[in-house]
Amino acid sequence: MNHSIAYNQLNAQEKILVDSQVANKAKKSVVAWLLWLFLGAFGAHRFYLKKTGSAVVMLILTLTFFGAIISGPWALIDAFFIQKWVHQNEEEVEKEAVAQIAVSKSLNKD
């Protein structure tokens, strides 16, 4: 994981807390891949990775005959992006956790 500058300024205990929050809250790569493998044409992996708008479009396309011709290759192309989306989600969770620690630090100083 490529940590932010704010993460690098945390002490060891705070880093452990952030890492545990990332491990617990971030989307799991295995789940995303399994959803893609079994329900990819329906956009299940996109719903899981919070890409709801495009997931709804993909689902509607799949439920129509001609749309299924589009959503099949679309799901295949998604295979090249899943890891990137999972990594982006991990970074978002990390930023939120670091921000929570920063807020609690500032409240404790006052």
Structure confidence at residue 1 (pLDDT): 61
Task: With respect to residue 16, please indicate whether it lies within any of the assigned structural domains.
Answer: no
Domain limits for position 87? 29-93
What's the distance, CA 86 to chain centroid? 4
Structure confidence at residue 84 (pLDDT): 98
Backbone angles phi, psi at 50, to 5 degrees: 60, 35
Walking along the chain (110 residues) 10 residues at a time, the average pLDDT comes out as 80 95 98 98 97 97 91 96 98 95 83
Contact yes or no for 43/62 (Cβ under 8 A): yes
Structure confidence at residue 2 (pLDDT): 65
Structure confidence at residue 106 (pLDDT): 84
pTM: 0.89
Task: With respect to residue 77, please indicate whether it lies within any of the assigned structural domains.
Answer: yes
Query: How far is CA 13 from each of CA 19, 36, 77, rounded to the nearest angstrom?
Result: 10, 36, 40
Task: With respect to residue 55, please indicate whether it lies within any of the assigned structural domains.
Answer: yes
Number of independent structural domains in the chain: 1
